[in-house]
A and B are shown apart, each in its own frame.
Chain A
Amino acid sequence: MFVAGNGAFLDSTGASFGLRLKNDRLNQMLVLLGHVMVDVAVIGAGQTKYGNHQLGLKGMWAEAAENAFASVDQDFDPRQVDEAFIGSVAFGGGQLGNTAALLTEHSGMEGVPVRRVENACASSGFALRDAWMAIKSGQADVVVAGGIEKMNDLSPERKRFWLGVSGDTEWERLAGLTFPGTYALMARRHFHEHQSTHDDLVHISVKNHMHGFENQHAHLRKQVSFEKAASGFMVADPLTLYDCCPTSDGASCVILAADHVVRQFTDDPVWLRSSGAGSDRLALHDRPSITQLVATQKASKSAYSAAGITANDVDLAEVHDCFTVAEMIATEDLGFTESGQGGMFARDGQGIRNEGSVCINPSGGLKSKGHPLGATGTGQAVEVFKQLRGSVESGRQVRDAQIGITHNVGGSGATCAVHVFGRDRNE
């Protein structure tokens, strides 16, 4: 082993790398060593329906994993999995410790090195990133990334406890804030700084319900009118019930493979072209601006750069719309529109499937599809995988989709993971 200049370590063959290397630095070192960077493909993906499940953790995970295994074109044996990463906040379900080991034990992956990944609502977005890095590092060829959350087996009182645990407990929570409150503060400030309005948020709600209406896996499969969405029960002024995602049960599972083994599983892979991530100060009041998420900006910039694309190249985006204002701000931070123009982007219908410049949340997003916290990030990847392979329900397909992204945010923006998927490998 020797230690590289930046403190990363290599083993004597040069095949094993410290995981903290930045992609570009890793590439440089591989070039020096005569290695070719491994590309990563998605070979299978599946999920449960999101909603109020009768199933517990083990049953939901088994269903998601089974669907993922079945989606692999060739026979898939879960004993081929080298490593597994499962995101969960461990909200309900009663298995806080060693959740991941329990789940793999019950899904044919007994004995596989596994761990639970926790980054609030971005837990499985980061599980996906960890899985991607495991293959990129050369340590694994076949890796499972997944997520799970059981949210509806708790009393309303305990739910309210869990819904705020990923904010800043000491300062925000004692000021009465749960996430509806923090996002409401962001919305009102955005209205003030950028002349956006609540009507802009209503457009987002209506669009996402329209997209999710035909999604068989969506929690809230109902279309809503503008008038109904505009007059919902006030949850956290100015956000109404129609601005807020539901609390959902659900699980999702994605199978990744290194390029040199992909053809064992499929001739039709979707390439996971890059992974970007960022973080920011936990508390809203500690950030210079509350109308943008720096973590999203960092993550998307990094992911776009590594994939060699710009926001203009994206055909569809699964965006973290835990609240409608989150989608409005994300369209700015992800580069689909200029800073401060997210309201106009929504008003003009720019995110509507096959009508706007880019389809935002073809699945219905968190608003309609649902938000089982730890399952959301890889659930977004399931949707992009299916969209790029043309295998979603009829009527839901984004036309000519070549590039899709997922955008998964933890809390009010303390963490964010962005992934770029493509029909083609990186050039």
Chain B
Amino acid sequence: MSDSAQWKGYLISYSNDSLLLQSPYIYSDSPVYGPDSDSTTMTVAGIQYLQTQGHQISAIRLPDSVDARVVFMSTSVDSPQRNEELDSATVDWHVIEGDEATLVLSQSDAEHFEFEEPTGTELIDADLFNDMNAAWELECSKQHVSQGAYVSQSQYLEGGAARLSLASQKFDGQIIWPPRQMDSFGNRLPPEEGLLSDAATVESWTKLSAAGAPSEFSLRAPILGGIQTLLVKFVEGPRGVFLVCDDVDYSPNIGDKIEFGVRRIYAQEGLIRYGLKAIPFIV
């Protein structure tokens, strides 16, 4: 017996000790990843779902296609792939990758699972799917050095927890995000110790034409017809700017409620930069 639902832009089917995740997009009768998704982003969503269900995940074994560092920064769940010194006895969950855009997170390493088939799939435009795949393939190649903003690996990793899990600082009764070094009196601020809630409200928005988009998006923005950015305010007070995930067909309004999911942002020199993107509550 399992429950079927949507979570962070993915279809899920949950039974007591296992979770099936599937991309909602269908191409040639098979699930395929959306424009910003891959096995890493779906794994993160799966772990986050299990955590909301009360599972305490000590460590997880990941397939090679999943970026273990991103999983750790997003969820604080470690893996043997990231941490070679991790005691294998602590690994209590496994991620099993399906043939198509499906994953199973389970405490068992069985090869066969029974799930209710997820509902809510939609056909993806064939041109969009093929063009986006080609663009990502080119962008992810090590030879591709975009003219885009250079966020070095060290800078990316320094801000990783804040970018991927909304890790925030607390100081003098204020919640601070993104993290800052000092307050306005020159006092050093403490390290991140809490997480912003995964809920925010749209305060403004724009859609940049492909010609106006930053050059790191220059391969994909023309395919998507531009890129959409939201300025949002979190329940706790801080504001942030986020892209809308997976080219969702969404006409924002100020005051709309938003949640977040980890997605690909862009790739440079063979490294995919991941971050949170906005997922609108579409009724």
* Residue in B155, B159, B203, B227 whose CB lies within 8 Å of A176: B227
- Whether, in the assembled complex, A170 has its beta carbon less than 8 Å from a beta carbon of chain B, the answer is yes
The answer to whether A235 touches B204, judged by C-beta atoms less than 8 angstroms apart, is no
For A185, what are the chain B residues with a Cβ–Cβ distance below 8 Å? 204-206, 229, 231, 241
* Residue in B147, B149, B209 whose CB lies within 8 Å of A173: B149
The answer to whether A181 touches B212, judged by C-beta atoms less than 8 angstroms apart, is yes
The answer to whether B208 touches A236, judged by C-beta atoms less than 8 angstroms apart, is yes
State A238–B205 Cα separation when bound (angstroms). 9
For A399, what are the chain B residues with a Cβ–Cβ distance below 8 Å? none
State A237–B206 Cα separation when bound (angstroms). 5
State A188–B204 Cα separation when bound (angstroms). 6
State A170–B156 Cα separation when bound (angstroms). 8
| A157-183 CB contacts (< 8 Å) to partner B | 157-158, 160-161, 164-165, 169-178, 180-181
What bracket does the count of chain B residues touching chain A fall in? 35 or more
- Whether, in the assembled complex, B218 has its beta carbon less than 8 Å from a beta carbon of chain A, the answer is yes
Interface 1/0s, chain B 13-50, versus A by CB < 8 A?
00000000000000000000000000000000000000
The answer to whether A174 touches B227, judged by C-beta atoms less than 8 angstroms apart, is no
The answer to whether B215 touches A158, judged by C-beta atoms less than 8 angstroms apart, is yes
The answer to whether A161 touches B147, judged by C-beta atoms less than 8 angstroms apart, is yes
| A133-168 CB contacts (< 8 Å) to partner B | 156-158, 160-161, 164-165
How near does chain A come to B44, taking the closest CB pair, in angstroms?
17
State A173–B155 Cα separation when bound (angstroms). 14
For A165, what are the chain B residues with a Cβ–Cβ distance below 8 Å? 149
The answer to whether A188 touches B205, judged by C-beta atoms less than 8 angstroms apart, is yes
The answer to whether B215 touches A181, judged by C-beta atoms less than 8 angstroms apart, is no
Which of A61-69, A202-210, A271-279, A283-291 forms contacts with chain B?
Answer: A283-291
* Residue in B151, B211, B229 whose CB lies within 8 Å of A181: B229
- Whether, in the assembled complex, A22 has its beta carbon less than 8 Å from a beta carbon of chain B, the answer is no
The answer to whether B205 touches A178, judged by C-beta atoms less than 8 angstroms apart, is no
The answer to whether A235 touches B209, judged by C-beta atoms less than 8 angstroms apart, is yes
By beta carbon, the residue of chain B nearest A192 is: B254
State A177–B229 Cα separation when bound (angstroms). 7
The answer to whether B149 touches A161, judged by C-beta atoms less than 8 angstroms apart, is yes
The answer to whether B203 touches A189, judged by C-beta atoms less than 8 angstroms apart, is yes
For B151, what are the chain A residues with a Cβ–Cβ distance below 8 Å? 169-170, 173-174
How near does chain A come to B226, taking the closest CB pair, in angstroms?
8
State A334–B150 Cα separation when bound (angstroms). 35
How near does chain B come to A123, taking the closest CB pair, in angstroms?
19
- Whether, in the assembled complex, B135 has its beta carbon less than 8 Å from a beta carbon of chain A, the answer is no
| A221-252 CB contacts (< 8 Å) to partner B | 233-239
For A192, what are the chain B residues with a Cβ–Cβ distance below 8 Å? 204, 254
Interface 1/0s, chain B 156-178, versus A by CB < 8 A?
00010001000000000000001
How near does chain A come to B29, taking the closest CB pair, in angstroms?
33
For A184, what are the chain B residues with a Cβ–Cβ distance below 8 Å? 206, 208
The answer to whether B215 touches A161, judged by C-beta atoms less than 8 angstroms apart, is yes
The answer to whether B207 touches A236, judged by C-beta atoms less than 8 angstroms apart, is yes
**Which of A158, A175, A238 has most chain B Cβ within 10 Å?**
A175
* Residue in A171, A172, A180, A189 whose CB lies within 8 Å of B212: A180
- Whether, in the assembled complex, B214 has its beta carbon less than 8 Å from a beta carbon of chain A, the answer is yes
By beta carbon, the residue of chain A nearest B253 is: A192
For A174, what are the chain B residues with a Cβ–Cβ distance below 8 Å? 149, 151, 163, 265-266, 273, 275
For B207, what are the chain A residues with a Cβ–Cβ distance below 8 Å? 234, 236-237
- Whether, in the assembled complex, B242 has its beta carbon less than 8 Å from a beta carbon of chain A, the answer is yes
**Which of B203, B206, B216 has most chain A Cβ within 10 Å?**
B206
**Which of B149, B213, B214, B229 has most chain A Cβ within 10 Å?**
B214
State A238–B211 Cα separation when bound (angstroms). 15
| A79-110 CB contacts (< 8 Å) to partner B | none
State A174–B215 Cα separation when bound (angstroms). 11
How near does chain B come to A378, taking the closest CB pair, in angstroms?
28
- Whether, in the assembled complex, B148 has its beta carbon less than 8 Å from a beta carbon of chain A, the answer is yes
By beta carbon, the residue of chain A nearest B233 is: A285
How near does chain A come to B143, taking the closest CB pair, in angstroms?
16
For A234, what are the chain B residues with a Cβ–Cβ distance below 8 Å? 207, 209
The answer to whether B239 touches A178, judged by C-beta atoms less than 8 angstroms apart, is no
For B239, what are the chain A residues with a Cβ–Cβ distance below 8 Å? 285-286
State A178–B216 Cα separation when bound (angstroms). 11
State A308–B189 Cα separation when bound (angstroms). 40
The answer to whether A235 touches B212, judged by C-beta atoms less than 8 angstroms apart, is yes
State A157–B147 Cα separation when bound (angstroms). 7
Other CB < 8 Å A-B pairs besides A157-B147, A185-B229, A192-B204, 14 of them?
A158-B147, A160-B215, A161-B147, A161-B215, A165-B149, A169-B150, A173-B214, A176-B227, A176-B228, A181-B208, A188-B254, A189-B204, A236-B207, A238-B206
Residues of B within 8 A of A (CB): 147-151, 155, 159, 163, 178, 203-209, 211-218, 227-229, 231, 238-243, 254, 265-266, 273, 275
Closest 5 CB pairs of A and B: A184-B206, A175-B241, A161-B147, A285-B239, A160-B215
Jot down 7 A-B pairs with beta carbons below 8 A, ordered by A. A164-B215, A174-B265, A176-B213, A185-B205, A233-B209, A237-B207, A239-B206
